[in-house]
Amino acid sequence: MPDYRRNRIPGATYFFTVNLRDRRSDLLVKNIEALRDAVRDVRQVLPFHIDAWVVLPDHMHSLWTLPEGDSDFPERWRRLKAAFTHAL
């Protein structure tokens, strides 16, 4: 597993790029409703503000602002990926 160095600042705004393993896939746009549902479900449990989000066929970019005192974006991504995968 990669050992990413991230600057974790509670309440900060973070930019993410997330890729599918298969870069030729169009899974994200074909299943956009499942992705929206997964994001909604995660935000109900672990809130964050979506400043911007772009979904392309094989990857997505997002800009999130976390609540004051919270820097746990990895748990949000873990839950989002799990919910989306489960919906497929």
Would residue 8 count as lying in a domain? no
How many domains are contained in the chain? Answer: 1
Per-residue exposure over 41-67, b if at least 16 CB sit within 10 Å of its own CB, e if not? ebbeebebeeeeeeeeebebebebebe
Which tokens in the block code for residue 6?
């991230």
Predicted local confidence at residue 66, as pLDDT = 97
Q: What is the CATH number of the domain that holds 68?
A: 3.30.70.1290
Residue ranges for the chain with pLDDT beneath 70: 1-4
Domain region containing 63: 13-87
Q: Which amino acid, residue 27?
A: L
pLDDT at 30: 96
In this prediction the pTM is: 0.89
